[in-house]
Structures are given as C-alpha cells and as structure tokens.
Amino acid sequence: ATAGSYAALSSFNLMPSVLGANSQIRLAVAGIRSRGANHVSDFMKLEGVKVVALCDPDKQILEQGVGAFKKKYEVGDADIKGYADVREVLDRKDVDALVIAAPNHWHSLMTVWACQAGKHVYVEKPVSHSIWEGRKMVEAARKYNRIVQAGTQHRSCPAVQEAARDIQSGKYGKVQWVHCSVLHARATIGKVTEPQPVPASVDYNLWAGPAPMGPVMRKSFHYDWHWQWSWGDGEMANWGIHYLDDVRHLLGWTDVPTKVVAAGNRFAWDDNGETPNVHFALMDYDGLPLVVDIRNLVDPKRRGGNAGALYRGFNDGNHIQFEEGYIHLSRGGGGAYDKDGKRIYQYKGDGGAGHAQNFINALRSGRREDLAAEIEVGHLGTTICHQANVAWRAGKEASVDQVRESMRSHEDAVDTLYAILKQLDGNDVSLLKKPFVLGPALTYDRKTERFVGDSADAANTYLRCSHREPFVIRDAV
C-alpha cells in the first residue's frame, strides 16, 4: 500500500480483532538501534509472542539486528525479515502489531498508518512530536478500533500504582503541591559549523519521514537528534515524560494543566543543540501548583563535577507535598516521609517491567480498558511536556528579576530558581552573556487543545508540525 491508502483499505475492517489465549501474536519492531532492540528481547521472552519483522532505515543497524536475532533465537530467513520502509511491514497480513521505537518525529505517523492498516500498536514515549499529532493518534485508534499502548512503562509499576491508590484515598491528607524533577547530568553534543554527511548506511528520506530533510548539524547522527527541534523534544519529553505522566497517574488527573509559564536556556554549552538544558516551569491544575525542574548540567560539588544536582537528596522523581510530609517516587519505587524527612513507608516497584505483558494481555482480551497506558493516557501525559516546551519556545530573553516575578505565586518555584542560579554560578555561567529565556504566562483550553488569551497566537504556532509529503497525517485520519 502507498502512503495514505491504509485508511481506504481499513474501512472494511473496523471490528476489533481479539487474539485469543492460544493464538500466537506476531510483532514487528520499527527502530532497532537501541530501545527497539530492548523491545525485541522483552517481547520475545513472552509466551505466545513472536517477533517476525525488524525495520530500520539504517542498513548497517538493520543487518546487524537481523543477524543477531537469527543467532540468538536460532532461526533462519523464513522466521525474521528486515525492512527499511515501515510501509512494507504494514503491508504484511501476518503482522498483528507494530512496536514503534523510531525517533520522536515518526511516532505519530507510524501509529496512524498502523491503525489504518489494521495493526495494533505499542509506541514509545513521547508518543507524539506535537499536541495535534497526539490527538490524531487517539482518533486513529478509536476510528479503527485498535489497541494502542503508550510506552510510559511506569504505569505498570506496582510502586506507582500503590502510591496512586494511597494518595487518591486521602491516606496522607490533601495534596498541596508537586515538584517533578529530572536532574541528570549530560554532556555537550559538540559543535560543527558545516553540515555533516549522512551515514552512508542511512536512507535519509526514510529516516526523516515527516520531518525536514535538512542539513545535519550535529556530530552524532543518531541519538543527538533529541536536542534539535525538527526531530526531538528535549529532556522535557525524553525523561520528563515518565515523571509528568506519573503525576497524572498518582493524583488521578483526568486532563492536563491549564496554566503554564516556563523559563530556562541552553547554558554553559556552545554546541548545536537547540533544546534547553535548564528548563523549569510552573503549572496549575485546577488550583494545584506543579513545578517541573529539568536540568542537564553538572553540580560541580558532586562526585568531582560529574553528577547532576539534587532536590531533597534525589536526582529525579516526583515529590508530592502534603501538610504533614511528602511522598517521593522515582523509577522503581520510593517512600512516604514525615515532616522531618524520615521515611515512614516504602513503596517497592520494578519500574514497569510488566508493561510489555500488559500490552499482550490487552491484545488477547481485545479490550483497550485493560491497557495500563492507553494512547489517550499517553497523549495527555505527553501534552504536559509539549505545554512546557511551547511555553519556553514562545519566550524571549529576560532578567532574573523577571523570571522571579513570573514564579512568585509559588514558594517552591522561587526556591527552584534560586537552586538553578546557584548551579549556574558553579558552572561559570554569565547571565549577562546568556540570559534566561522566559515564556509568557499561557492559558490552555482543554476542550480545543489550544492556548487562549494573551500570547496564544505565538504559542499556537508550535501546536502542529509541518509534515513532508508523502509522510503526512491528514486532518481526517
């Protein structure tokens, strides 16, 4: 089938396909360099599941992946096939579901195409490259009655599930505010002054897909696209998505914040990255403050300057504040603490190790309600990341006083600014040479999924990416 033709083909196949307890589920995995390779291994461990196709536009990675698969599982050409073009995978009638671990800019289109082709989908985080794309994914899943799981695996973690029940039952009292942090030290991606050659093994047209086939202005072709807006969404949607989705899970939010202001910049590094390496936001969900604190710079005083900063002794996770204490949860577990910081209860988890099995179980039942992270859940969690990114991208240079004024309604937000200033000073950052970029105070309409009011026009220009023919999601999926 050609691009855009799957919708016509699928109009005759709108009934849910229930893959019973005894039937073998056949998967294809798209994007196998890193995370996708992990998915191959994880799904192949599950009973009644078989990976039958691998897809990657990098010929070298694809050949290595197919070869390693044959060796590990002792199979031949008839059992595993490699493809550069995902459309050829979707043409296969014997593929039940597509597992997507391609770069961010491909997530939504692959999902829509797969739904149109009658396939179920497991799509990595962040599920979309824009808020508009995320909604189209939900629409496609509904229209073609497909099971679509978001790869926010914390939804399957027992620790998060237990803590969510406790918080929502009122066990610890009323939630006062939330601090969500990712304080992971990263390194500069380096700087080039001229376009770099695309690796000879890469089909750049298929790699770029809906995104621009622009010049490659980065030393490392793979992975470092995360920090350039045409393809990636920065740390906010790379690691931040896990914990921001946890906030929705823990507090039982049915939607997303309606107020957001964000500040930050790409400090200390003179490189080709475009996304901020210090990015913090103050959001409001029906009167509840949420502080989002993303920093990739080192703390010079920790581990010889090779580690990131800390918030209350932790380098990432969520702090849910109550009057008499707080809960801290990160990947794999956490605890409840009293006012003095003494742990009074431990939450034990596994980081969501059962997420792949949860997807398979839902395929067998044919019930999207059985999914831990159904695509609309994934879309709303990712929307919070996009809100923070849009709020920053719509901003302009500002003084520290202006940033402080924008955050003054919440004490923890101001304290976070002071912590950031201290860390910037430790990294010899001159705010006179490179000041903060501060976004406008934005209001978000949940029904239309657009910003409204002051500064809305500038912000709304970031709600939808322009797609390159023929790699296009149509308004009517």
Q: Which domains does the chain have, with CATH numbers?
A: 6-155 (3.40.50.720), 157-351+375-460 (3.30.360.10)
Q: Is the pLDDT assigned to residue 285 strictly greater than 80? A: yes
Whole-number CA gyration radius for the chain: 22
Q: CA-to-CA distance for 107 and 211, rounded, in angstroms?
A: 11
Q: CA-to-CA distance for 266 and 293, rounded, in angstroms?
A: 14
Instruction: Please enumerate in sequence order all residues whose Cβ is within 8 A of that of 320, keeping only pairs 6 or more positions apart, or say none.
Output: 167, 172, 175, 178, 250, 251, 326, 327, 328, 329
pLDDT computed for residue 24 by the predictor: 96
Q: CA-to-CA distance for 354 and 51, rounded, in angstroms?
A: 18
Give the confidence band of 304 by pLDDT, cuts at 50, 70, 90: confident
Q: pLDDT tens for residues 309-351?
A: 999 999 999 999 999 999 999 999 999 999 999 999 999 999 9
Q: How far apart are the first and last CA of the chain?
A: 16
pLDDT computed for residue 11 by the predictor: 46
| Confidence (pTM) | 0.96
Q: CB of 332 within 8 A of CB of 350?
A: yes
∠ CA 171-175-176, nearest 5°, is 145
Q: Is the pLDDT assigned to residue 2 strictly greater than 60? A: no
What number is the average pLDDT over the span 38-47?
98
Q: Is the pLDDT assigned to residue 36 strictly greater than 90? A: yes
Give the confidence band of 7 by pLDDT, cuts at 50, 70, 90: low
Q: Is the pLDDT assigned to residue 84 strictly greater than 90? A: yes
CA distances from 188 to 257, 299, 315, 421, 426 (A): 32, 15, 19, 20, 17
What length does the chain have?
A: 477
